[in-house]
Amino acid sequence: MRSKLERGCYLIGFRCGPAPGHANQVKPGRVANRGYGPGHQHPDINNFVVYSNGTWLAIDPGYVHLKETRNYNTILVNGKGQAGAGEVWLDYMAFENREPAPKITLAESTPDYDYVIGDAGNIYIDEAGLEYFERHLLFIKPDVIIITDRLKGKENSSFTWSLAS
């Protein structure tokens, strides 16, 4: 999403989807073949980044020593993150084997606003006790960003909202 194509504009990125892409996610042989090699993936579903006027306001940390959900602009549930986290390389099969896979359920763009909804699916580890995590990101052009999370734990839960800046 962006406010305009010139200097000083806002640029917003949002990530929500299966690591190998939707087409590969449904291929019957993907699990037997140990996935499609995305060793550079990160446990960052429903992560966002914001850039404006030459400055990153909300960043993606890029390559960090351990791939941890807490390093990204997403949430922890009861102190737990997304499947595959905790090592130098994402445990891709733990990440990819989660069903339903994360997906964008709405993407709308108009001259006045952009609106996206990401459903994290079942990407959080079972110990997190998460029933669902849906992130709404509304960008009212040229410079208002509203982020709303719909979260439900299987039991009474704590949610930690992370912001890397």
Query: How does pLDDT run across 93-150, given as a tens digit for each residue?
Result: 888 778 899 999 999 999 999 999 999 999 999 999 999 999 999 999 999 999 999 9
**Three-state SS for 132?**
strand
* 108: β partners: 115
Type and span of the H or E element at 148: strand 144-153
pLDDT at 31: 67
- Euclidean distance between CA atoms 65 and 14, whole angstroms: 23
Q: What's this model's pTM, rounded to 2 decimal places?
A: 0.90
Type and span of the H or E element at 93: helix 92-96
Say which range, 22-26, 63-67, 73-77, 136-140, has the weakest mean pLDDT: 22-26
- Which domains does the chain possess? 10-161 (2.70.98.70)
Please report, for residues 26, 59, 89, 150, the alpha-carbon distance to residue 55 in angstroms, rounded to integers and kept in the order given. Answer: 38, 10, 29, 29
Token pair recorded at residue 71: 């390093």
- Euclidean distance between CA atoms 21 and 144, whole angstroms: 30
Cβ atoms of 138 and 146 within 8 Å: the answer is: yes
pLDDT at 35: 57
Cα four-point dihedral sign 11, 6, 62, 39: positive
pLDDT at 94: 84
Which letter does DSSP use for residue 26 in this model? T
Radius of gyration, CA atoms only, the chain: 16
